[in-house]
Each structure stands twice: as structure tokens, then as C-alpha cells.
Amino acid sequence: MAAVLAPNGLFPTSTPRQQFGASVNTLDQARAYYGGLKDKACLEASRSLRSSLGIDVRIRRVGRSAHEQVRDHWMRAGRHADAGWDWEEIFRRHREPKCLDLAIWSPDSSSLIALALATMTMEAATLRYCEGNPQDGCDYKGKRVLIALEAVANYALGAGLSEIRIDPVNEKLASLYQTVYGFELVAPKKGPAYYRKGI
């Protein structure tokens, strides 16, 4: 799959769109359907990042090894005040089949680079949480949100959606989201503001 910088952020263009929630009638069918979309989104994002930007990572769904890395390594490092979330609790609260849980690993899978979680509605896939490895010397600092957004965009396209969002609004990252990645700030009359981008 070829990814493009649009206008300055990386998002895919060739993942085929499907009808949202096609043929999902039971919980088992939903798990299988969305599980397949998640796996494909992770694989496609890894490939497009490597071929387009030279960013070599392994993107997977969150498993026990990711939780062990957070517990054994991240908890000992100084975590950023804007993050430092309780990831086990976040993943417990977001167990719906449509939620995309991401573990972003180094090329040799020895180091957890970032964790992220996105939710999905009939309108958009929304990146809700993203936290990078807080240890000093991470080679992927400044690229972790981009990596997560690439996976979220692939997931949204696979589900037949044409929009991704970032919520909540983080004022410190407004320039990055709007100027570099091409998101627009949406401030509805009812409800909280969020960033959106068509894909």
C-alpha cells in the first residue's frame, strides 16, 4: 500500500473501503470481523511507514508482553504529566470489538515504543490515547503519534469510514495536529472539541 503525506501528515490512500459493520450479527462475528480489520490495519501501517518514511516498527494488538513492558520498564521511568495513564484500566474499559488497541514495538520487538487506543463510531475512528515510551533515548520520539495515526487511518478505511479524529484536544499539540498532520479543530455547540481529518 502506498501512503501519502496529506498535506504534511502520513495517511494511506489505497486501503479498500468496506461497508461499515458489514455482516456482523453476533458478538463472535463482531470480534472476528473487527479483529481481522485490526490485524490488517497494523500490518498495512507497518508496511507503509517502512516503505514511505523509513520508519521500521512492528505494530500489533496489545498483549501480555506489552503490559509487562509497561510494568517493568515504563513505571520506573519518569512519565510525562499529560500521559502516565493506567493502561490496564483503559483496556479493561474499552473491550468492545470495535476498539483498536495498539502496541508499537521496535523492529526486533525487544522494546515497546508506544501504546495507543482508538474507538470507532459510524462516523469516524478516534485516537483517544497515545503514550510513548518514557525512557530516555527513544529513537521514535516525535514519531509515535504519527505511527498510531497511520494504524488508525488504515483501520478506519478498512471499516469503510472516511474520517479520523483525535480526542481530547491537547492545546500543547495543536500545532502538530493542525499544521503538520493537517487536522482541523471542530468545536460543536454541544459536546467537547476534537480534531478531524478526512481520509
What's the pLDDT at 3? 45
What's the pLDDT at 26? 84
At 57, the amino acid letter reads V
Instruction: Calculate the alpha carbon distances from 28 to 25, 35, 76, 96, 129 in Å.
Output: 8, 10, 38, 11, 26
pTM (2 decimals)? 0.85
Give the pLDDT confidence of 13-28 residue by residue, as tens digits. Answer: 445 555 555 556 788 8
Give the pLDDT confidence of 76-106 residue by residue, as tens digits. Answer: 666 666 666 788 888 889 989 999 999 999 9
